[in-house]
Amino acid sequence: MSRLPIVGVSACTKQIGHNFYHTAGDKYLRAVVVGAGGMPLIVPALGELLALPQLLEQLDGLLFTGSPSNVEPHHYAGAASAPGTLHDSARDATTLPLIRAALDAGVPLLGICRGFQEINVAFGGTLHQRVHEIPGLLDHREPKEQPVEVQYGPRHALQVQPGGLLDGIGLPREFQINSIHGQGVARLAPGLRVEALAPDGLVEAFSVEGAKSFALGVQWHPEWQVASNPNYLAIFQAFGEACRERAGQR
C-alpha cells in the first residue's frame, strides 16, 4: 500500500485566555482525508520562524483555508479596514510567502475563501473589503441568523469558464454553490487565470498560469459536506491526485 500524501493545512491564530493557539477548522482537515485521500498536517502560523524550504520538502500539497479573519489591507495597498474587522497578522506573515515558495517548488495547492484571497494578494492582486457595498455586485455573505446547514446551502450559480482547470476535471458549465464571504477579488493578479464567475461577474475561482502542478483558488467552500456534493468532491479529488503524484516522486 502506498503512503498517503501529506497535505499541509494553514493554521489561524486564536487567543484563548492568556495563551495563543494555532487552529485549523475540522471541515478542512476532514476534507483532506475524505475528499483528497491525504494525511492532513497543520502548519502553524509562525511566520519567518518557519524554515520554508525544509517544510516544503516534507509536504505533498498545501491547503489554504477559509477563516473568520481577513488579509490585512496594507499587503495590497488597500484602505484601512472598517472598525471591528478581524485580522491575523501571524497568518498573513506565514501564508503569503508560503504560497510563492510552494509554487516555486511545484507543491500542489488549493486555496479556499481566505486562502483564495491570499493567493491573489501574494501575486499582487487587490481585494474588495466589503463586496456588498460595491454597486452591481451581490451580497455574498451568509444569512448568519440561519442554521449552519442553510448558511452553507446553495446560494447562486457558478459559471465555469471553458478551457480551464475546472472544465478539464469535468465540472459542468454551470452549477450551484454556497456563498459565505464579505470580501472578494477586486483586481485579479497577473499570472492568474479566471476559472469561474458568479452571476454578478465576481471572480469565484482562478488557477495559476504556468504552475508546475495543481494550483487553484476558489472563493466558495467546497470542503463543506464534500463527500455528498459531486462537484465539490471532484475538486478535492483532482487536488488529491496531484498530491499523490508528488508523493510518488518524493
d(CA 242, CA 86): 33
User: What whole-number distance in Å separates Cα of residue 7 and Cα of residue 29?
Assistant: 9
The active-site residue out of 72, 113, 118, 181 is 113
Is 223 among the catalytic positions?
yes
Identify whether 221 is a catalytic site residue.
yes
The pairing of strands 109-112 and 215-218 is: parallel
Catalytic residue among 142, 204, 223, 243, which? 223
Q: Is 243 a catalytic residue?
A: no
Q: Which residues are catalytic?
A: 113, 221, 223
